[in-house]
Amino acid sequence: MQTVISKALAFLILISAYVVADSPYQSSEEFLGEAFAGSPPAPKTIWLKGEVKEKAGEILGHSYPGIRIRYWGRDKRTAWILEEIGKTQPITVGIVVDETGLESIRVLAFRESRGWEVRYPFFTDQFSGIRLTADNQLDRPIDGISGATLSVRALKKLTRLALYLHQQTVPGDDASP
């Protein structure tokens, strides 16, 4: 009887960890509402072709899985909802960029079993104001988290991508490159 209870308890702990790992922390709509004071602009599209496609692939270390990326822009600010694989599962991140650099980054959904600490402000706050260098690197180091190396790497890549894509847009203009 003790073995059955122990196995059942272990199973429940395993299932609850999976459910927590797969649940969203914030919806895309909530993120965009916060980013634009409750009134997000209509989405726009940046097409991944030519140099933009090439640079996005260099930043990510692989080709972006789509041919276009949606973004929201107003008053020289853009918001991006992007995904990158941590170890085996995608991490969904909302990023706001303005003319001074990265304004905010928020983990919207985390599906991995490890590395979820990247969602907390003690980690994400260090991205505030970060910019790209001429060679599309972050202009200052980001401290990692022990046991979350791949999640940290994914957020750094997405930050670089959002900062690069922001440079390719004209926020507030409906024309996409």
pLDDT tens track, the chain, 177 positions: 666 565 544 444 444 444 444 557 899 999 999 999 999 999 999 999 999 999 999 999 999 989 999 999 999 999 999 999 999 999 999 999 999 999 999 999 999 989 999 999 999 999 999 999 999 999 999 999 999 999 999 999 999 999 999 999 965 444 444
CA of 104: how far to CAs of 24, 43, 118, 129, 134, in Å? Answer: 18, 19, 13, 8, 21
For the chain, strand residue ranges (E) read: 44-47, 68-74, 77-85, 90-98, 101-110
pLDDT at position 158:
98
Rounded to two decimals, what is the model's pTM? 0.83
Q: What angle do CA 35, 114, 162 make, to 5 degrees?
A: 30
pLDDT at position 159:
98
pLDDT at position 24:
76
pLDDT at position 15:
42
**Do the beta carbons of residue 57 and residue 131 sit within 8 Å?**
no
